[in-house]
């Protein structure tokens, strides 16, 4: 088993922002913020910004950093975060 380091910048799970959405919804009661996070993740995926856990069929995966940047850009464009 290969040790994974943060500095490797390997693509990883896209579920982290969705976990944040669960926290916003269920722990903090911030439904609109949770929905915005979920929509941002969906937007990135629909635009083809896929990490290796989601890329399939020859699709070129992006780094976790690039995927995160796409989610943040979508969040900044959404009304609940303005």
Return the domain boundaries, the chain.
15-81
- Cβ atoms within 10 Å, residue 25: 17
State yes or no: pLDDT of 80 exceeds 60.
Answer: yes
List, in sequence order, the alpha helices (H) in 1-82. Answer: 16-22, 31-46, 64-77
Query: pTM for the whole thing?
Result: 0.77
Q: Please, which residues have CB within 8 angstroms of residue 13's CB and are 6 or more apart in sequence?
A: 51, 53
* pLDDT, tens digit (0-9, with 9 covering 90-100), for 16-68: 899 999 999 999 999 999 999 999 999 999 998 988 888 887 778 888 889 99
Residue 5, pLDDT score: 47
Q: Is the pLDDT of residue 7 over 80?
A: no
The packing angle between helices 31-46 and 64-77, to 10°, is: 130
How far, in Å, CA of 44 to CA of 1, rounded? 31
**DSSP letter for each residue of 13-33:** -TTHHHHHHHIIIIIT--HHH
């Amino acid at each position: 088993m290969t040790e994974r380091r943060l500095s490797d910048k390997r693509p990883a799970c896209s579920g982290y922002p969705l976990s944040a959405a669960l926290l916003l919804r269920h722990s903090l009661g911030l439904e609109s913020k949770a929905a915005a996070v979920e929509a941002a993740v969906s937007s990135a995926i629909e635009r083809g910004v896929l990490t290796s856990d989601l890329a399939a069929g020859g699709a070129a995966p992006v780094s976790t950093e690039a995927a995160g940047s796409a989610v943040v850009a979508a969040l900044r464009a959404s009304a609940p975060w303005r």
